[in-house]
Amino acid sequence: MAIQFDVADRTITLHTRATTYQMQIADTGHVLHLYYGPRIDGECLDYLHVLTDCGFSPNCYENRMRREISPDILPLEYSAAGSGDYRVPALECVSAEGVVGADLRYVRHGIVEGKYALPGLPAAFGEGDQAQTLSLVLSDAATGLEVELLYGVFDGADVITRAAVFRNRGDAAIRLDRAASLCLDLPFAPGSSGGEWELLHLHGRHCMERMPERVPLMHGIQTVGSRRGASSHHHNPFTVLMASDTTETQGECLGIMPVYSGNHRTDIELNQADAVRVVSGIGGDLFGWQLDPGDSFCAPEVILCRTDGGMEGLTHHFHDFLNRHLIRSPWKDRVRPLLINSWESMTCDFDADKVLAFAAEAAKLGVELVVLDDGWFGARNDDNAGLGDWTANEAKLPGGLKPLSDAIHAMGLRFGLWIEPEMVNEDSDLYRTHPEWALAVPGRRPVTARNQLVLDMGNREVVEYLYGVFSALIRENGIDYIKWDMNRNIADTYSTALPPHRQGEVSHRYMLGVYELMDRLTGEYPEVLFENCAGGGGRFDAGMLYYTPQIWCSDDSDAIERLTIQTGTAIGYPVSAMGAHVSACPNQQTGRTTPFGTRAIVAMSGTFGFELDPARLTDDEKRRMRALADRYHRFYNVIHRGRYYRLTGLEGWGGYVAWAFVSPDGGQALVNLVVTRTHANTHGIHLRLRGLDAHGRYRLAEAVVEGCERPDGRILNDAALEDRIFTGRSLMAAGITLRPMRGDYPGVQLLFERVGGDS
């Protein structure tokens, strides 16, 4: 059993394949967290918690004569403000009398087969043999507030999920000001050496998302979160706690990933006892949810994963888990079509003839899906008008979308569209008809971005209207792919559909409306490939992956910038989810010129596509594009279904970035490298591979060198080495050395194949 209850010592133990998570019901009714670490079977671990009289830490009334028992230093499974625990709380609530806080005590628990579900919210899934659920109910006697803590235990995946449901069992209203899904007290220093904790988080900005930053924990509270109405470009909802001596391949790591796309907040507090508390879930700053008697509120899920396998081990656990237990689209197991997007070549300036010529040229080069981006609808010639009017602009597309779709399908291609359902321009028929559907503060001019406003997705009328519009659009025009964009964050957080005392619910109700619309459309059209986008990577999170199997990684398509963006993203999110395209040079965002083949090597480590005008390519680039289409399909399985390895880690790259994919059976290894800084009088580049069959024998089946000034085109030191048989052990222990490379951003792609036999 993955979940066990011991009646004698009142412990509840959650086991996964390699970890144990244990809590204990104390005599006072507090639920104490005892342990989360390497698997330990059949033992009560309450001896780990030592009671200490800590000055200015108060006592519960029933323990008033035992000063060593204080809520302020107990390792609590779930904490609330106003209970004598001064650490960062998971729950902040206000009673009808204005009393802040709650005193949560154990009521009951239950264990069931299979994984719990969360109504209206994305959440991991697992059948009876894949997961078990623990329901742990706590209650505040004074107010009647009940908190049900939900634990999903995925034994084989080494993952535990957390969620919380709040119910008002009393006879007066209660306001939730913070309702976190996870509270985790870690009373011990990490690692066998008892070292210090460090925090890795993914910060950034538009066009430079998910930059990894690793910092020591300080005494106090470090917060990673977003108040923008979206998970944001700036602070991704994924954090990692690790031991100070953790490396890429070894050491303790604890990953925390909220399954949510709106305002989020993760607090990490290092307290007076040198213990760490993590509180994570929905963002609290702009949140306030009223629970009337009999009402309930469901908080979003948080995924927990712990490993001693270093950053690489954590990455593999999250990649596997998200692919198997979170992403639902049937496209996750299919080869994605090689697409080309019209935006960087045409923006909004096109007509039907121009689009058809674009598609015809792309078809000659191996493209399988043509995506018409912004500008096809309403009075849309730039980003100042037309959002909300989702009917074709017949001045550009005579007869609407259907003739264009039919013509592109007749070329043997799929056809896709860009949409931005959650937004509206003031200069649109929709806004003129329903100005009350936009979020706006009464009596104040709205805050605009890109000259657009945000629709109130928490309003049922808005969701129903958008569902009707886009369902008909997909059905009537034979749409094969949808790029779902969101190009601004929420500032005017006020809904005319809600009374004043419920305005704190706007942001979360907005996300519930987005999730409902996505759920209905993706459920009705499972054959359509949906790709999420929010100005690029502004909503690259687990919540979105529940509905769409891929997300446009960043609006920055510069290959050299993408090396950092994609490396940071892939710490927690699967490579198969990262939208990545080859764009034209000089690059639109940076002005940089990078070799065509190097751009392809970087983009191929994602969903792969093109963001350029094929008519403007040179004959050599067209030849390369056709060859890339073939290479994409040949390497698809090893990239999308193989293990991902950061060969140069997260820091200390020394002028180059290298990564690899190894097929599940170890039969193929695709090594990729891009030189970001060249030097005079330089030396070779040494790489050690990982993930191979140590006893297998490998040959270099293919070597591609791009943008390198070398007449012979060789990358290994001796031509004979390209015919040599290597052992897996030698490639991992001794490695390979590549010849020095000159030029602007040269790239390398090496395919090693196992040839069988023992070393």
pLDDT digits (tens, 9 = 90+) for 289-316: 999 999 999 999 999 999 999 999 999 9
Q: How far apart are CA 415 and CA 479, in angstroms?
A: 6
> Tokens at residue 685, please?
């580049």
pTM comes to 0.96
Residue 222 pLDDT > 60: yes
Mean pLDDT of the chain: 94
Q: Are 291 and 166 in contact (CB under 8 A)?
A: yes
Residue 90 pLDDT > 80: yes
Segment 409-413 shows an average pLDDT of: 98
Query: CB atoms < 10 A from the CB of 219, how many?
Result: 9
Residue 344 pLDDT > 70: yes
Q: Which of 158, 389, 480, 541 is catalytic?
A: 541
Residue 8 pLDDT > 60: yes
Residues 6+ apart with CB under 8 A from 680: none
The pLDDT-based confidence of 758 (bands split at 50, 70, 90) is very low
Describe the strand order of the beta sheet including 668-675 as a list of residue ranges. Answer: 643-646, 656-662, 668-675, 747-754, 697-706, 725-727
Q: How far is CA 548 from CA 91, 506, 543, 645, in A?
A: 31, 24, 9, 24
CB burial of 725-748 (b: ≥16 within 10 Å; e: otherwise) equals ebbbebbbeeebebbebebebbbb
CB burial of 632-652 (b: ≥16 within 10 Å; e: otherwise) equals beebbebbbebbbbbbbbbee
Q: How far apart are CA 536 and CA 655, in angstroms?
A: 26
What confidence score (pLDDT) does residue 129 get? 86
* Active-site residue flag, 541: yes
Q: How far apart are CA 625 and CA 583, in angstroms?
A: 12
Query: CB atoms < 10 A from the CB of 254, how many?
Result: 23
Select from 747, 712, 755 the least CA-distant residue to 731.
Answer: 755
Select from 212, 310, 324 the least CA-distant residue to 253.
Answer: 310
DSSP 96: T
The pLDDT-based confidence of 719 (bands split at 50, 70, 90) is low
Residue 720 pLDDT > 70: no
Name the residue with higher pLDDT: 346 or 127.
Answer: 346
Residues 6+ apart with CB under 8 A from 642: 661, 662, 663, 664, 668, 670
> Tokens at residue 434, please?
């329903």
The pLDDT-based confidence of 263 (bands split at 50, 70, 90) is very high
Segment 485-514 shows an average pLDDT of: 97
Select the highest-mean-pLDDT range: 359-373, 649-663, 710-724. Answer: 359-373
**Dihedral sign from CA coordinates of 250, 131, 574, 515:** negative
Segment 591-607 shows an average pLDDT of: 96
Q: How far apart are CA 711 and CA 264, in angstroms?
A: 53
Pick from 179-188, 208-217, 377-386, 703-712: least confident: 703-712
Q: Which domains does the chain have, with CATH numbers?
A: 3-325 (2.70.98.60), 330-347+361-551 (3.20.20.70), 645-754 (2.60.40.1180)
The pLDDT-based confidence of 73 (bands split at 50, 70, 90) is confident
**pLDDT tens-digit map of 574-596:** 999 999 999 999 999 999 999 99
* Active-site residue flag, 621: yes
What confidence score (pLDDT) does residue 37 get? 95
What confidence score (pLDDT) does residue 462 get? 98
Residue 191 pLDDT > 80: no
Q: Are 754 and 667 in contact (CB under 8 A)?
A: yes
Q: Which of 621, 693, 706, 753 is catalytic?
A: 621
Name the residue with higher pLDDT: 64 or 74.
Answer: 74
For the chain, give the percent of residues with pLDDT over 90. 87
The pLDDT-based confidence of 715 (bands split at 50, 70, 90) is confident
DSSP string, 467-520: HHHHHHHHHHHT--EEEE---S-------TTS-GGGGGGHHHHHHHHHHHHHHH
